[in-house]
Amino acid sequence: MNAKQPAGEREVSVTAFPKYYRLTKTDEYSSVFGFRKALKSTHFLLHYRLRAAEEGAGARLGLVVAKRLLRRSVDRNLIRRLARENFRMMRCRLPSRDLILRLAAKPQTLDRRVLAEEIRGLLGKMISPER
């Protein structure tokens, strides 16, 4: 029943987060930051850059959570998990862009619901046609 599938024939779930939906290289981050377009919320900045047709389709996500804002790694990882989860749920509706979600201000409390709603709000702004 659980036969292994060849690597080239694996099915990717709609909500999966494989490597090709992530920004991994320094040049990829630099190109998004260099484009200088961003949306702001209370605690986050969402930097974005349009992707060319030859770069492939679909949105990709990069995360920046500075240690100077959240000293504990548990807290930084919480922010990353929330961001990845919300990106996975909204990825199929997002336009073909490279996105970097950056924590810009230290949250007073780490309320998961509030932070997740803020992330969803920023990603939802990318779906709207005027951007």
Is residue 6 assigned to a domain?
no
Q: What is the pLDDT of residues 50-64, one digit of tens each?
A: 887 777 788 999 999
Question: What pLDDT score was predicted for residue 121?
Answer: 95
Q: What is the pLDDT of residues 5-26, one digit of tens each?
A: 445 555 666 666 778 889 999 9
Q: What is the pLDDT of residues 29-42, one digit of tens each?
A: 999 999 999 999 99
Number of domains in the chain: 1
Is residue 13 assigned to a domain?
no
Q: Is 38 helix (H, G, I), strand (E, B) or coil?
A: strand
Question: What pLDDT score was predicted for residue 54?
Answer: 77
Is residue 95 assigned to a domain?
yes
What's the CATH code of the domain at 84?
Answer: 3.30.230.10
**Can you spell out the DSSP letters for 27-60?**
HHHHHHHHH--EEE-SSEEEEEEEPPGGG-SS-E
Q: Is 115 helix (H, G, I), strand (E, B) or coil?
A: helix
Residue 99 sits in which domain range? Answer: 20-127
Is residue 4 assigned to a domain?
no
Distance, CA of 106 to CA of 66 (rounded, Å): 10
